[in-house]
Structure 1
């Protein structure tokens, strides 16, 4: 695997040794384009419009370097209500499936505008790190202490290649990304919008609220990460395991899973810490990968299965066992490089470089190690955002990737017009459930009104096979 990195660097160095022809500075602003064929292939039943927003790479240096940000827009059937929905992303560093946005327009009867973050998706340049992807199968076969060296080697190689291209990695920050959103609203002539984010991209939405509140009519934060809320992942996982057992005691669909899950989890950790299991697992691409399942790997699998997948039967099998490790470890065999269990979503579109640039100021786990060789931009403020913009916050009670509803309520107390909706059996991405969608849609129509028809949240049951 390390030979692959060396070849990638050699090819890049050869290409960079040839001085490129001087290109004219692109014109700043928005320009419509025909939607790319691969984008249209993800979308069914609607005709989107597409374009690129060209902005300065760094508004601090103004050295003439620019980036192009991909924009896709969907309209609802019939006449759209005023004040479109502007979506600023999902999991930081994770490419969005554009087709998943299409139903959002008819549900809210508003136009939906999605802006790819700088460095990701179809935006240019890309901060993808094939060097890290190349070593991911090697990392799966190592214990965490052994994986540090290869991971840092891949991250360092990615940094070297991108900087040789003249990319200023410190310019890929939450502050610059928030300014990108403001520039988009200005370029499209939008006086008032409803801002929406999912998961860790709420950090970007909150930065927009902090710096550019004048055009924001309302904000929807689903499963948010918050700048002033630090979640201890181990403590949070045990909280959620205990909560799952308590909820299952009253739910016919999972009463058999009401054992003491935290205690069973600790016993499984002790066994695997002393005697790791080595298996061959099949990756999503059909490749056989050696995977070492130790206490850290089990923690990653349980965190992912509970926090994002939400299948309590899978969680119970992992914790109380003995599981079919060859099947259970498939997620680690398909990992893109320290994603599973550390990031909420690992669906095949992770842009490592952007993730590091956005999160290095407050990274944890192995990504804190990666950040020792990655240049971070200006750290965003750790102070809570103070705002009277109407804000709807939706939390899944079993989401291992954010704090509890009580923690989130305390961390957002400076949002004076915020409303909090908890889905007890919900996970990361509460709107994957049908119940909260009409609640959200009605609230967007009248953000000053109380939440209506919330009784269905008690009917959202557990996910079990």
Structure 2
């Protein structure tokens, strides 16, 4: 088996595994990197990982072409960059609609532990219990199921020669530097989304010399107490929807006091959960879904990421409150399909990052107690995802060889690199306060908020991309456009009749 010492980083061009549009020039590569870096030898030399790289070339017919590419860092952690055959088409549409992507090469790659990386750590043990968890409201039993799966996955990965401790933001930043050196570009622009902003900030901390400018979209700064903040962040996200509905006459007239209705519904379902049978997403038979208040909160929370889904949240609350059975069933089918997950998502990468960089540096007792401050979320104080995930992380780490925890990974990133920081006011998971937190340490940072929008601004909003275009052309100048003042609040859907 090749080892980290025997295989220096190597970039090799390869035949693309998908068909690209005729009007685009697309090149595909594989980058070999050491799984275990020299700065972190907790467990042997590890494997050599092959990361897929896709470069969408700037338009050859355009007069304005720049030598500094943009590299995209996906979120998660564990989310692939959508390079597989089924999802790469999203990028064709994005490039067609985005001016800045016509001026510069756009570099896409799957981070270690995600997407089409070979070999890739993964946790089928965690994926296989997803439907079992939907069938129970017993938080103790659910946590035990998750702990058992995490333990089994961790032990198997170690037995297969992987080093799960080598899947951190610091390791990912080193991969980026290897790719930068292999491509031999003069400097590049880094575009991070969600967890990708955490990776971008770590890259800024360690390899500032590679970077011309940075765009941080929906920011997760390393100094944020992500788990401890979850209660306040979640409550704020719902409150944004409640207040927006109150201010919109047709929404308020249709739904009344939405906050009171949802709070009472959540408490009622926590006291008396409802069992629903739905077709199995695997196509064989039916599955049982237990709907309690905590599950409904989780379902609604997942809809707060983008504007189109935000606009149906009041309608969905009304559907569950009136228990419109066909509509409830249809919504559950959508939820189950998302819940079961995607093949390109790296569950092991998700565990590795959170269990090394988040959970150990958060006071989980305080995190759980914080839910009691909010009537809507009080049920999560005795159950819910945060507590079970913390216990699962304990099991994950206990099944691995001892891994070093670096407190330095949680320190703010101070930099004078030109940085565009974008936040959506309705973002439920990386709220504007996180964007402001990161920007406060960036000497040449430009912070902008967008009303009516949630997570992933550049992936959803034309104005954000106009601002990005201005910034990339001149990173030293504050980017401004009249579109910033033209945003509108969500246009909420009316009740189902």
**Which residue number in structure 2 is paired with residue 415 of structure 1?**
442
Which of 71, 75, 84 is residue 69 of structure 2 equivalent to? 84
Distance 2:428 2:151 in 1: 30
Confirm or deny that 1:234 pairs with 2:231. Answer: yes
Instruction: Classify 1:419/1:353 alpha carbon distance in 2 versus 1 (closer, same or farther; 3 Å).
Output: same
Which of 131, 136, 149 is residue 142 of structure 1 equivalent to? 136
Confirm or deny that 1:101 pairs with 2:82. Answer: no
Shift of 1:332: 4.3
Q: How many residues align?
A: 434
Distance 2:301 2:258 in 1: 13
Distance 2:434 2:183 in 1: 37
Shift of 1:205: 0.6
Distance 2:2 2:31 in 1: 23
Distance 2:210 2:312 in 1: 44
TM-score relative to the length of structure 1: 0.85
Shift of 1:415: 0.9
Deviation sequence 1:4-36 (CA, Å, 0-9, x none): xxxxxxxxxxxxxxxx89999545321111112
**Which residue number in structure 2 is paired with residue 340 of structure 1?**
none
**Which residue number in structure 1 is paired with residue 117 of structure 2?**
123
Distance 1:309 1:52 in 2: 36
Distance 2:482 2:276 in 1: 45
Which of 231, 240, 244 is residue 243 of structure 1 equivalent to? 240
Instruction: Classify 1:273/1:393 alpha carbon distance in 2 versus 1 (closer, same or farther; 3 Å).
Output: same
Confirm or deny that 1:385 pairs with 2:417. Answer: no
Which of 301, 308, 329 is residue 299 of structure 2 equivalent to? 301
Distance 2:218 2:418 in 1: 17
SS of structure 1 residue aligned to 2:67: strand
Shift of 1:203: 0.9
Confirm or deny that 1:54 pairs with 2:32. Answer: yes
**Does the aligned pair in 1 maintain the 2:214–2:420 contact within 8 Å?**
yes
**Which residue number in structure 1 is paired with residue 13 of structure 2?**
32
SS of structure 1 residue aligned to 2:301: helix
What are the equivalent positions in structure 2 for 1:419-430 lying under 5 Å apart?
419-430=446-457
Deviation sequence 1:277-298 (CA, Å, 0-9, x none): 1112345555532111112101
**Does the aligned pair in 2 maintain the 1:86–1:114 contact within 8 Å?**
yes
SS of structure 2 residue aligned to 1:81: coil
Distance 2:335 2:342 in 1: 12
**Which residue number in structure 2 is paired with residue 74 of structure 1?**
56
Unaligned 5+ segments in structure 1 are 1-19, 338-345
Decide which moves more: 139-148 or 257-266.
Answer: 257-266
**Does the aligned pair in 1 maintain the 2:450–2:487 contact within 8 Å?**
no
Instruction: Classify 1:178/1:377 alpha carbon distance in 2 versus 1 (closer, same or farther; 3 Å).
Output: farther
Instruction: Classify 1:365/1:281 alpha carbon distance in 2 versus 1 (closer, same or farther; 3 Å).
Output: farther
Shift of 1:174: 1.0
**Does the aligned pair in 2 maintain the 1:393–1:419 contact within 8 Å?**
yes
SS of structure 1 residue aligned to 2:305: helix
Shift of 1:195: 0.3
Deviation sequence 1:109-140 (CA, Å, 0-9, x none): 10011121112111122122112212211111
**Which residue number in structure 2 is paired with residue 16 of structure 1?**
none
Which of 379, 390, 393 is residue 371 of structure 1 equivalent to? 393
CA RMSD of aligned residues (A): 2.8
Shift of 1:319: 3.2
SS of structure 2 residue aligned to 1:374: helix
**Does the aligned pair in 1 maintain the 2:303–2:309 contact within 8 Å?**
yes
Confirm or deny that 1:197 pairs with 2:225. Answer: no
Decide which moves more: 355-364 or 451-460.
Answer: 451-460
Unaligned 5+ segments in structure 2 are 360-385, 398-402
**Which residue number in structure 1 is paired with residue 331 of structure 2?**
328
